[in-house]
């Protein structure tokens, strides 16, 4: 039987993959993908915990909201990446170090 | 001509040569004729002869002074004092300087440094004239030093000759010794009386008359100091050595130095401060003068250089003057100074003319001989008859022959000395006797000079020697001086010195009684003695085998010197120069070397030691600074830098890293929360 723990483990795995992608990828698109993984891990948790909610489908609704928001956020992120590419001719985050001292 | 007061006139007399000096100094090479200097001394001479001397001589003393400077409450004055002594001296200086100037125009013609010559000559005249008229000892001292300096310049006029440089150095150094004496005398006189003004000191109501000095020791000291000053300037034994060497200067300069200026300054000074001397000092002066007269006459006997013979005769005559001062007859000293000025100047000018001709002969025939050596001359009477006559007059005057001026003045000294010696009795009679012997020696050496130079035949063997009379510009001054060497200028009676106007001007009471018999015996004895000596000398030098060729003469003289070592001693001036060289110069040099060594090794060593010590200390402190202080600072700075560097690495601008850190920290926090 599939318990909450299984969902959480999957969710944790997703989160870890996402974190890895965010920290280690040399491509801004892949980092964005990593961020999506993390969001999806959170959404999966929302859905999984929604089962124990007193109000029905509260978790699912939140998940839908989050998906929509993530989609919007991806659009913004892609726009930023596009602008970054225009300025630096590169989307490798290692090359974009304007924040350093 | 304007009628000036004697004081203003004498101011002009002094200033004119000084102006000539300045103008000549400014014109430099553009003025070679010496017209300016000649004009200045001519005007000085005229003014002195017409406006100063006739108005002062045997009339009131004139004195005018301005306040010069004040030290504390003491006022020092500057001014002129005109009395018989100073006006006479002034006139003599002018009268002797004028012929020398005229003579120099011909004698020094064509010398490359002639513009300097005129400059120095004017300076010399200015200094000497200032000396004669100074009314206080300080001004006199300044003039005294100026005379010394000008003579230094003139003696070393041909400074490209090593011997001239040595000679002027010698003259200067020896004169410094005398200057020191003069200065000490001034200082001690000032400490006793508090003034240096001659009128205050020696005037009619002077301190010396009113205040009897209670400190006779001081007075003796002061007197000896003044005498030391006069000894150096007037070339008294043992400080006479500079004068023969001073012959390195041009002959016209020698004549000026020997006649009226330089060497006369010492005698003049002693006459000026005469009342100062007590019996002790006077005796010292007399003894030194006597020794000088004798030694110099002795040295003159065997000299071979015509100018050196004359130089030693000057020293000898100065010795006479000193004796006269020492026995109290300073009037006789001044008289002899005056007559000596003329005939000695003439002797030198004539010697200059002879040397001039000999040098021409040497240059014309390209021979190699010393134009000043009397052995090379001989028979010049035929070639230069006028010079011969003039020099003969001067020589007769030097020997004290009747009808000349020298006869009067020399007899004055001799008779005074004899009278004084009779009064003192005993050993003191040696001084007049020595003087008489010296007089005979004088007759001999000047006779030797005359016979060797003018008689016999020319010892340089050349056909047609081409020696001729000196030009008019040289002969004219000599004629003037020749006239001044005769008795008429000084006294109408040729046989009695007491009629001489110079002596009458200085009349004062003597300490010793007059002995009339001496006034006839001494002149007679001297004249006969001189004539005998001349006959002997003539036979020896002009007629005998020595009158022949140069080689024979030289051989005879050297044979003579071998047999008589005393003559060898005389030729070498008693080895005094060598003695001074050994005793003073070498010891000074050695002492200086010692001091140099001390300076080099001890003083420098100490300084170097201190230096290296400081260097060592600084090296240590540099090491401390570099490795301890700097090290500490560098360690702190370095570690801070390293720490900063470590943290700086975090701020690398990579977003992923930032995120990674953030998650790591979060993870650590979570782990910490889990295991708490």
pLDDT tens digit sequence for B128-179: 888 888 888 888 888 888 888 888 888 888 888 888 888 888 888 888 888 8
Residue B506 belongs to a domain: no
Distance in angstroms (rounded) separating the CA atoms of residues B431 and B418? 8
- pLDDT-based confidence at residue B387 (cuts at 50, 70, 90): confident
Residue A101 belongs to a domain: no
Q: Where are the beta strands (DSSP E) in B83-181?
A: none
Lowest mean pLDDT among B24-38, B513-527, B618-632: B513-527
Verify whether the Cβ–Cβ distance A24 to B656 is below 8 Å.
yes
Say if residue B72's pLDDT is above 60. Answer: yes
Query: Closest residue of A to B661, CA-based?
Result: A23
CATH number of the domain where residue A58 is located = 1.10.287.3510
A16 touches B at CB < 8 Å: no
- What was the pLDDT predicted at B612? 94
Residue B654 belongs to a domain: yes
Residue B581 belongs to a domain: no
Residue A100 belongs to a domain: no
The two structure tokens encoding residue B134: 């100074």
Distance in angstroms (rounded) separating the CA atoms of residues B554 and B253? 30
Residue B628 belongs to a domain: yes
Query: Closest residue of B to A100, CA-based?
Result: B653
CB B522 within 8 A of CB B433: no
Distance in angstroms (rounded) separating the CA atoms of residues B236 and B270? 13
- pLDDT-based confidence at residue B547 (cuts at 50, 70, 90): very low
C-alpha atoms less than 13 angstroms from C-alpha of B14 in its C-beta half-sphere: 21
CB B273 within 8 A of CB B229: no
Residue B647 belongs to a domain: yes
- What was the pLDDT predicted at B386? 83
Residue B375 belongs to a domain: no
**Residues of A whose CB is below 8 A from B655:** 93, 96, 99
Between B651 and B127, residue with greater pLDDT: B127
CB B227 within 8 A of CB B284: yes
Lowest mean pLDDT among B256-260, B410-414, B471-475: B256-260
Say if residue B89's pLDDT is above 80. Answer: yes
Distance in angstroms (rounded) separating the CA atoms of residues B319 and B317? 5
Residues B615, B618, B623: CA angle, nearest 5 degrees = 125
Question: B425: burial class by Cβ within 10 Å (0-12, 13-18, 19+)?
Answer: exposed
The two structure tokens encoding residue B442: 């004088």
- Give the residue-averaged pLDDT of A49-72: 88
Phi, psi of B28 (to 5 degrees): 60, -130
A98 touches B at CB < 8 Å: yes
- Give the residue-averaged pLDDT of B506-529: 74
Distance in angstroms (rounded) separating the CA atoms of residues B522 and B435? 12
- Rg of chain B in Å (alpha carbons): 37
Say if residue A75's pLDDT is above 90. Answer: yes
Distance in angstroms (rounded) separating the CA atoms of residues B24 and B41? 13
Q: Which of A22, A94, A100 sits opposite B659 (nearest CB)?
A: A22
Lowest mean pLDDT among A21-25, B392-396, B631-635: B392-396
Distance in angstroms (rounded) separating the CA atoms of residues B233 and B580? 18
| DSSP designation for A93 | G
- Maximum mean pLDDT: which of B9-23, B193-207, B496-510: B9-23
Between A97 and B549, residue with greater pLDDT: A97
For an interface test with B, give the residue of A17, A18, A101 to mutate (most B CBs within 10 A).
A101
Residue B624 belongs to a domain: yes
Question: B569: burial class by Cβ within 10 Å (0-12, 13-18, 19+)?
Answer: middle
- Total of domains in chain B: 1
- What was the pLDDT predicted at B331? 82
Distance in angstroms (rounded) separating the CA atoms of residues B71 and B495? 54
Distance in angstroms (rounded) separating the CA atoms of residues B49 and B37? 18
- What was the pLDDT predicted at B611? 93
- Give the residue-averaged pLDDT of B631-660: 86
Mean pLDDT, all residues of chain B: 81
**Residues of A whose CB is below 8 A from B666:** none
Q: Between chain A and chain B, how many beta carbons pairs sit less than 8 Å apart? A: 32
Whole-complex ipTM = 0.83
Range of the domain at B603: 599-665
- What was the pLDDT predicted at B525? 81
pLDDT tens-place string over residues B440-468 = 888 888 888 888 787 777 776 666 667 77
Taking alpha carbons only, the member of B160, B82, B155, B79 closest to residue B124 is: B155
C-alpha dist (Å) from residue B169 to B156, B231, B242, B253: 8, 18, 9, 16
CB B436 within 8 A of CB B523: no
Which residues 6+ apart lie within 8 Å of B285 measured at CB?
B227, B270, B277, B322, B323, B325, B326
- Total of domains in chain A: 1
Distance in angstroms (rounded) separating the CA atoms of residues B666 and B660? 10
A23 touches B at CB < 8 Å: yes
Query: Closest residue of A to B654, CA-based?
Result: A97
Distance in angstroms (rounded) separating the CA atoms of residues A80 and B348? 123
B170-177's contacts with Cβ under 8 Å and 24+ in sequence apart are B170/B241, B170/B242, B170/B245, B171/B242, B171/B243, B171/B245, B171/B246, B172/B148, B174/B232, B174/B239, B174/B241, B174/B242, B175/B148, B175/B151, B175/B232, B175/B233, B175/B242, B176/B148, B176/B232, B177/B228, B177/B232, B177/B239
A 10 A CB-CB count for B600 gives 10
- What was the pLDDT predicted at B64? 80
- pLDDT-based confidence at residue A42 (cuts at 50, 70, 90): very high
- What was the pLDDT predicted at A83? 93
Verify whether the Cβ–Cβ distance A98 to B653 is below 8 Å.
yes
Say if residue B553's pLDDT is above 70. Answer: no
pTM for the whole structure: 0.73
Verify whether the Cβ–Cβ distance B651 to A97 is below 8 Å.
no
Q: What is the 3-state secondary structure (H, E, C) of B404-469?
A: EHHHHHHHHHHHHHHHHHHHHCHHHHHHHHHHHHHHHHHHHHHHHHHHHHHCCCCCCCCCCCCCCC
Say if residue B546's pLDDT is above 60. Answer: no
B366-373's contacts with Cβ under 8 Å and 24+ in sequence apart are B367/B460, B367/B462, B369/B460, B370/B305, B372/B305, B372/B306, B372/B307, B373/B304, B373/B305, B373/B306
- Give the residue-averaged pLDDT of B22-42: 81
Say if residue B545's pLDDT is above 70. Answer: no
C-alpha dist (Å) from residue B394 to A5, B300, B406, B470, B615: 156, 17, 9, 17, 76
B104-109's contacts with Cβ under 8 Å and 24+ in sequence apart are B104/B34, B104/B250, B104/B252, B105/B33, B105/B34, B105/B38, B105/B473, B106/B470, B106/B471, B106/B473, B106/B474, B107/B250, B107/B251, B107/B252, B107/B352, B107/B353, B107/B356, B107/B474, B108/B34, B108/B250, B108/B252
Verify whether the Cβ–Cβ distance B653 to A96 is below 8 Å.
yes
Identify the three-state secondary structure at position B75.
strand
Range of the domain at A77: 4-95
Identify the three-state secondary structure at position B66.
strand
Distance in angstroms (rounded) separating the CA atoms of residues A43 and B426? 157
Say if residue B44's pLDDT is above 60. Answer: yes
């Amino acid at each position: 039987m599939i318990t909450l723990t299984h969902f959480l483990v999957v969710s944790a795995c997703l989160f870890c993959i996402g974190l890895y992608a965010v920290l280690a990828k040399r491509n801004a698109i892949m980092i964005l993908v990593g961020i999506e993984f993390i969001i999806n891990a959170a959404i999966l948790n929302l859905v999984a915990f929604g089962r124990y909610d007193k109000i029905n489908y509260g978790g699912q609704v939140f998940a839908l909201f989050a998906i929509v928001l993530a989609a919007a956020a991806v659009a913004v992120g892609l726009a930023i990446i596009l602008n970054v590419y225009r300025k630096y001719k590169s989307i490798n985050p290692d090359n974009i170090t304007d924040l350093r001292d | 001509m304007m009628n000036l007061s004697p004081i203003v006139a004498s101011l002009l007399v002094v200033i004119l040569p000084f102006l000539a000096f300045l103008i000549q100094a400014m014109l430099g090479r553009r003025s070679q004729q010496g017209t300016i200097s000649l004009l200045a001394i001519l005007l000085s001479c005229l003014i002195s002869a017409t406006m100063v001397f006739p108005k002062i001589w045997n009339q009131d003393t004139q004195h005018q002074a301005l306040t010069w400077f004040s030290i504390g409450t003491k006022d020092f004055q500057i001014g002129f004092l005109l009395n018989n002594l100073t006006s006479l001296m002034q006139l003599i200086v002018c009268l002797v300087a004028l012929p020398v100037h005229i003579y120099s125009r011909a004698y020094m013609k064509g010398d490359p440094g002639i513009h300097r010559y005129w400059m120095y000559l004017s300076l010399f005249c200015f200094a000497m004239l200032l000396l004669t008229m100074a009314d206080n000892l300080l001004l006199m001292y300044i003039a005294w030093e100026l005379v010394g300096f000008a003579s230094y310049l003139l003696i070393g006029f041909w400074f490209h000759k090593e011997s001239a440089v040595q000679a002027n150095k010698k003259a200067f150094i020896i004169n410094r010794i005398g200057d020191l004496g003069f200065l000490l005398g001034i200082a001690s006189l000032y400490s006793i009386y508090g003034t240096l003004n001659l009128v205050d000191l020696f005037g009619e109501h002077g301190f010396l008359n009113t205040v009897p000095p209670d400190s006779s020791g001081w007075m003796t000291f002061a007197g000896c100091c003044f005498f030391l000053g006069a000894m150096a300037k007037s070339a008294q034994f043992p400080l006479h050595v500079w004068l023969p060497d001073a012959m390195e200067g041009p002959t016209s300069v020698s004549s000026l130095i020997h006649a009226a200026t330089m060497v006369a300054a010492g005698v003049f000074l002693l006459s000026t401060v005469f009342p100062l001397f007590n019996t002790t000092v006077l005796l010292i002066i007399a003894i030194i003068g006597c020794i000088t007269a004798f030694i110099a006459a002795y040295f003159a006997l065997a000299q071979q250089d015509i100018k050196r013979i004359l130089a030693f005769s000057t020293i000898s005559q100065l010795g006479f003057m000193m004796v006269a001062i020492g026995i109290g007859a300073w009037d006789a000293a001044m008289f002899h100074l005056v007559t000596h000025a003329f005939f000695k100047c003439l002797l030198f000018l004539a010697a200059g003319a002879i040397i001039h001709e000999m040098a021409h002969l040497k240059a014309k025939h390209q021979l190699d001989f010393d134009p000043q050596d009397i052995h090379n001359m001989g028979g010049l009477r035929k070639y230069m008859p006028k010079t011969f006559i003039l020099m003969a007059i001067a020589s007769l005057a030097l020997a004290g022959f009747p009808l000349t001026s020298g006869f009067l003045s020399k007899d004055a000294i001799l008779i005074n000395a004899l009278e004084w010696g009779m009064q003192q009795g005993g050993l003191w009679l040696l001084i007049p006797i020595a003087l008489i012997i010296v007089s005979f020696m004088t007759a001999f050496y000047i006779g030797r000079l005359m016979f060797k130079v003018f008689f016999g035949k020319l010892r340089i063997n050349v056909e047609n020697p081409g020696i001729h009379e000196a030009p008019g510009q040289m002969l004219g001054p000599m004629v003037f001086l020749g006239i001044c060497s005769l008795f008429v200028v000084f006294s109408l009676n040729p046989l009695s010195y007491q009629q001489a106007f110079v002596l009458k001007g200085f009349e004062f009471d003597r300490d010793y009684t007059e002995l009339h018999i001496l006034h006839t015996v001494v002149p007679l004895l001297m004249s006969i003695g001189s004539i005998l000596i001349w006959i002997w000398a003539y036979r020896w030098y002009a007629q005998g085998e020595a009158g022949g060729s140069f080689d024979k003469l030289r051989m005879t003289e050297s044979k003579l010197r071998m047999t008589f070592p005393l003559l060898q001693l005389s030729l070498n001036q008693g080895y005094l120069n060598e003695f001074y060289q050994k005793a003073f110069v070498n010891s000074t040099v050695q002492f200086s070397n010692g001091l140099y060594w001390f300076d080099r090794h001890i003083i420098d060593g100490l300084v170097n030691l201190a230096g290296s010590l400081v260097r060592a200390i600084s090296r240590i402190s540099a090491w401390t600074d570099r490795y301890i202080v700097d090290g500490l600072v560098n360690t702190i700075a370095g570690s801070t830098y390293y720490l900063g560097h470590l943290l700086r690495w975090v701020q690398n601008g990579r977003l992923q890293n930032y995120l990674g850190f953030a998650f790591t920290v979060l993870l650590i926090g979570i782990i910490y929360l889990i295991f708490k």
